[in-house]
């Protein structure tokens, strides 16, 4: 059952999760590729339902090419977690697809994700009803409070809203996070936020996210009117020439907007020239000349848990104060683009 490949033979989930009775007895999946799953409802790669506090421990996995194909309602192309708290470490979600939550749907519960890459996942809605499609990489709903520490959202694309994540009545937390090249056809290239939601961005870098909904679309972040309490943001770095809608970046919380991307070490290669995220050549470190951002972060803020390291594990703060964004900086220009 594990590692099954070939879409046609997988009418349901590749893996169905079970629960432990304590942390030590969580079921473990380590070192697999879970690919080609093809569910008609939820969780094309893995399905976890009502497993409580001790859901599976997932490590060193790649979920790729899994999909949910039900028209308009299915969720979690790679991974569906309903009221199931997982520990997920060093996992890549690549090119998964669903109507909502192209890679992951966290419905209730509170999972802990560390060193996670979401690349090129898709949320694809019903033709003519594109706006029902939410969250190309992540769909967080129903009071979910998952934590994402060290996370890359890279080139995910929704035919509706929320190219990176769609957050509906939920409050996930993203710490040391990169959002690059994500796209929502309607609203919110990076994030779409709605309802009773209080997500947090802590040391996030946002660059090159877009949406196609017009002048009110919120290229990076779209927060629906009436969202309560709404997005919290601290020590985050927003590159120039992208738009927000329904959201005002808080001042005096170490956030920098309008950042010149030419002051990244390598603005065109967020993963660096090795094309691997979470390594020292990653492109969104700050140059020594990035004086508008270096040391502009705050050291502490009530209601937010600040990390002791950056996305690479470098101790924060380096220098006088933490640097906004995912990376602690102060470097020369990075690698040259491959020829």
Binding residues vs Ca ion (CB under 5 A): 271-272, 274, 276, 279, 281-282, 295, 317-319, 323
For the chain, the residue count is 339
Which is nearer to Ca ion, 249 or 314 (by Cβ)? 314
Residue 130, classified by CB atoms within 10 Å of its CB into exposed (0-12), middle (13-18) or buried (19+), is middle
Which DSSP letter does residue 129 get? B
Shortest reach from residue 277's CB to Ca ion, in Å: 6
Q: Rounded to the nearest whole angstrom, what is the least distance from the CB of residue 135 to Ca ion in the complex? A: 26
What's the Cα-to-Cα distance from 284 to each of 119, 264, 325, 334, rounded to whole Å?
17, 5, 8, 9
> What's the min distance (Å) between Cβ of 206 and Ca ion?
18
Q: Give 172 or 322: the residue with its C-beta nearer to Ca ion.
A: 322
Beta carbon nearer to Ca ion, 106 or 282:
282
Q: How far is CA 123 from CA 102, 202, 241, 271, in A?
A: 5, 25, 25, 23
Residue nearest to Ca ion (CB): 272
d(CA 223, CA 228): 10
- Write the DSSP symbol of residue 131: G
CB of 92 to Ca ion, least distance (A): 13
Q: Shortest approach of Ca ion to residue 136 CB, angstroms?
A: 22
Of the two residues 169 and 318, which places its CB atom closer to Ca ion in the complex? 318
* R_g (Cα) of the chain, nearest Å: 19
Nearer to Ca ion, 65 or 269 (CB): 269
Task: Give CA–CA dist 15/26, Å, rounded.
Answer: 15
Q: Which is nearer to Ca ion, 224 or 323 (CB)?
A: 323
In a 3-state reduction of DSSP, which class is residue 150? strand
Q: Give the nearest distance from C-beta 103 to Ca ion in angstroms.
A: 21
């Amino acid at each position: 059952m594990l590692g099954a490949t070939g879409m046609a033979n997988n009418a349901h989930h590749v893996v169905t999760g079970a629960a432990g009775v304590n942390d030590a007895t969580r079921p473990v999946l380590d070192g697999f590729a879970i690919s080609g799953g093809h569910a008609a409802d939820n969780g094309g790669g893995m399905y976890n339902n009502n497993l409580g506090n001790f859901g599976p421990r997932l490590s060193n996995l790649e979920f790729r090419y899994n999909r949910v194909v039900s028209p308009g309602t299915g969720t979690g192309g790679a991974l569906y977690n309903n009221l199931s708290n997982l520990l997920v470490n060093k996992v890549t979600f690549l090119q998964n697809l669903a109507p909502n939550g192209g890679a992951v749907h966290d419905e209730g519960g509170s999972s802990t994700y560390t060193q996670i890459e979401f690349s090129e996942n898709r949320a694809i809605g019903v033709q003519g009803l594109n706006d029902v499609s939410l969250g190309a990489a992540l769909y967080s709903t129903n009071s979910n409070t998952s934590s994402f520490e060290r996370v890359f959202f890279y080139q995910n694309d929704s035919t509706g809203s929320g190219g990176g994540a769609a957050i509906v009545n939920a409050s996930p937390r993203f710490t040391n996070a990169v959002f690059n090249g994500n796209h929502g056809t309607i609203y919110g290239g990076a994030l779409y936020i709605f309802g009773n939601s209080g997500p947090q961005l802590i040391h996030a870098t946002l660059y090159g996210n877009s949406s196609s909904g017009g002048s009110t679309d919120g290229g990076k972040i779209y927060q629906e009117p009436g969202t309560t309490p709404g997005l919290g943001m601290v020590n985050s770095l927003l590159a120039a020439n992208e738009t927000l809608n329904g959201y005002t970046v808080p001042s005096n919380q170490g956030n920098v907007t309008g950042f010149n991307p030419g002051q990244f070490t390598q603005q065109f290669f967020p993963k660096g020239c090795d094309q691997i995220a979470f390594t020292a050549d990653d492109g969104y470190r700050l140059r020594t000349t990035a004086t508008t951002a270096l040391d502009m972060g705050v050291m502490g803020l009530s209601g937010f848990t600040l990390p002791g390291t950056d996305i690479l594990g470098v101790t924060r703060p380096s220098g006088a104060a933490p640097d906004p964004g995912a990376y602690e900086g102060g470097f020369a220009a990075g690698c040259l683009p491959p020829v």
